[in-house]
C-alpha cells in the first residue's frame, strides 16, 4: 500500500490487521480518497498469508458518518459518466470489504450513519458500544441507500431494510442487535475486551477453515437447499476435511493439545 492519507493500517504479531479510519474531524466520513484506500487495504490484507483477521475501527465521536457531503456534492456536479464512475468506486469498496477472504470485525465506538451502516453490514462480525446509534439516513438528503442496499438486506432482511431506509430512523444499539445489524453491544469501556474475546475465538480456529467458511456461506446463500446445493455441501466438507489443516485439527483434539495454528508451529 502507498502512503495513506485517510487510514492507519497495522498488523500485529498474531496476524490481526487493524484498519483505522482517520478523518475524525469530519466524523470519519469517507470521500474519494478514503474509498480508494479502503478498497486497496482490504484487497491487500485479504491476500496476505500472515493476516488472520481484519478489524475495521475508528476513533472519535462517530464510527463513520457515511459519505462526506462535500464529496457527494462534487460527484453530483459531475457529468453522468464521471458520476457513475464515482459510484462504481464506492460499490467496489463495499464489495472489497464484503468479499474479503479473511474474517472481518467492525469495532464501532460511536454513531454510524448512511454508508457507515453499510460498513457495518459488510463486515462479518460487528461489536458496538451500547451508546452508538445507527441510521440509514440517505432519504434525509433526497437520495437512497443504493450501494449499501444489498449488504443491508443481507444483514437485516428485506422488510427491516425497507423500514430503515424509508424512515431514516435512528436505532439504539440494543435494537440494532435485535434486528441483526450488529452482533453485540457493550459499554464503551468494555468494547476492547469484547473485541479481544472475539479475536481470541477466531485465533483458536483453523485459518484456512475460516476462509472456507466464508466461501461456503457465500456459495449456498439463504435459500432452501436444492439438489445442486445439497451436492455442493457434501463436496465441500469432503474436500476440506481431507486437508492438512483439518487432519491437524483432529489429531490435536484426540491428543488433547492445541492445534499447530494456535501455538504458531504450523
Q: Cite the active site residues.
A: 138
8-state DSSP, 30: B
Q: What is the DSSP string of 15-33?
A: SEEEEEE--GGGTT-B-HH
Q: Are 108 and 127 in contact (CB under 8 A)?
A: yes
Grid cell, residue 203, equals 485465533
Q: Are 54 and 100 in contact (CB under 8 A)?
A: yes
Grid cell, residue 66, equals 457515511
Consecutive H or E run containing 113: strand 111-113
In 3-state terms, what secondary structure has residue 172? strand
Task: Characterize 52-66 residue by residue with b for buried, 16 or more Cβ atoms within 10 angstroms of its Cβ, and e for exposed.
Answer: bbbbbbbeeebbbbb
Q: Is the dihedral of CA 15, 64, 136, 139 positive or negative?
A: negative
Amino acid at each position: 500500500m502507498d502512503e495513506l492519507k485517510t487510514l492507519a493500517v497495522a498488523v500485529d504479531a498474531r496476524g490481526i490487521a487493524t484498519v483505522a479510519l482517520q478523518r475524525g474531524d469530519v466524523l470519519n466520513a469517507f470521500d474519494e480518497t478514503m474509498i480508494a484506500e479502503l478498497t486497496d487495504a482490504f484487497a491487500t490484507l485479504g491476500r496476505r498469508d500472515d493476516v488472520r483477521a481484519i478489524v475495521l475501527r475508528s476513533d472519535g465521536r462517530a464510527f463513520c458518518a457515511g459519505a462526506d457531503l462535500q464529496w457527494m456534492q462534487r460527484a453530483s456536479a459531475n457529468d453522468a459518466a464521471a458520476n457513475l464512475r464515482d459510484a462504481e468506486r464506492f460499490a467496489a469498496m463495499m464489495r472489497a470489504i464484503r468479499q474479503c477472504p479473511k474474517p472481518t470485525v467492525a469495532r464501532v465506538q460511536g454513531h454510524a450513519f448512511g454508508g457507515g451502516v453499510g460498513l457495518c453490514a459488510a463486515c462479518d462480525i460487528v461489536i458496538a458500544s451500547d451508546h452508538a446509534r445507527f441510521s440509514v439516513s440517505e432519504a434525509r438528503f433526497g437520495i437512497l441507500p443504493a450501494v449499501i442496499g444489498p449488504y443491508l438486506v443481507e444483514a437485516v432482511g428485506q422488510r427491516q431494510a425497507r423500514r430503515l431506509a424509508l424512515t431514516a430512523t435512528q436505532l439504539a444499539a440494543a435494537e440494532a442487535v435485535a434486528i441483526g445489524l450488529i452482533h453485540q453491544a457493550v459499554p464503551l469501556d468494555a468494547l476492547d475486551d469484547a473485541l479481544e474475546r472475539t479475536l481470541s475465538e477466531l485465533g483458536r480456529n483453523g485459518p484456512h477453515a475460516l476462509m472456507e467458511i466464508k466461501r461456503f456461506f457465500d456459495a449456498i446463500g439463504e435459500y432452501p437447499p436444492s439438489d445442486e446445493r445439497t451436492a455442493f455441501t457434501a463436496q465441500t466438507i469432503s474436500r476440506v476435511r481431507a486437508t492438512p489443516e483439518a487432519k491437524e485439527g483432529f489429531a490435536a483434539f484426540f491428543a488433547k493439545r492445541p492445534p499447530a495454528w494456535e501455538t504458531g508451529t504450523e
